[in-house]
Amino acid sequence: MEKRVFCELNGNRKVIGILRGYDVFMNIVLDDAVEEKQGGEKVAIGMVVSAAELGTPILYPLVIHPFALRATNQLLFAHLQVIRGNSVVMLEALERISDK
């Protein structure tokens, strides 16, 4: 956990991010996730959350997604990405994992 990982998904999609969580079904949570498109283009991925869905006032600033900002000032961009285990083909650690 807390290590940068490379994740290959079905459909030949490739995602790199920091592993924040997982479960027995191989569902994973990545932070600062970036999808590598064909041709080498890298696109930040995440979830767009409306302020109404949060249910509480926002007390700290979040990174604003540029497209969401154009649509309305009530949409925020969260860098966490949940990936379902049935779409994970391979998971590889990009940082050294200590055994201590």
Give the span between the Cα atoms of 10 and 17, in whole angstroms: 17
The residues spanned by each domain of the chain are 4-93
4-93 classified as CATH 3.40.50.10900: no
Give the span between the Cα atoms of 9 and 60, in whole angstroms: 33
Supply the pTM of this predicted model. Answer: 0.67
- pLDDT of 33 reads 86
Question: Residue 63 above 70 pLDDT?
Answer: no
Q: pLDDT band at 93, cuts 50/70/90?
A: very high
Higher-pLDDT residue of 69 and 9 is 9
Q: Are 15 and 9 in contact (CB under 8 A)?
A: yes
Higher-pLDDT residue of 46 and 68 is 46
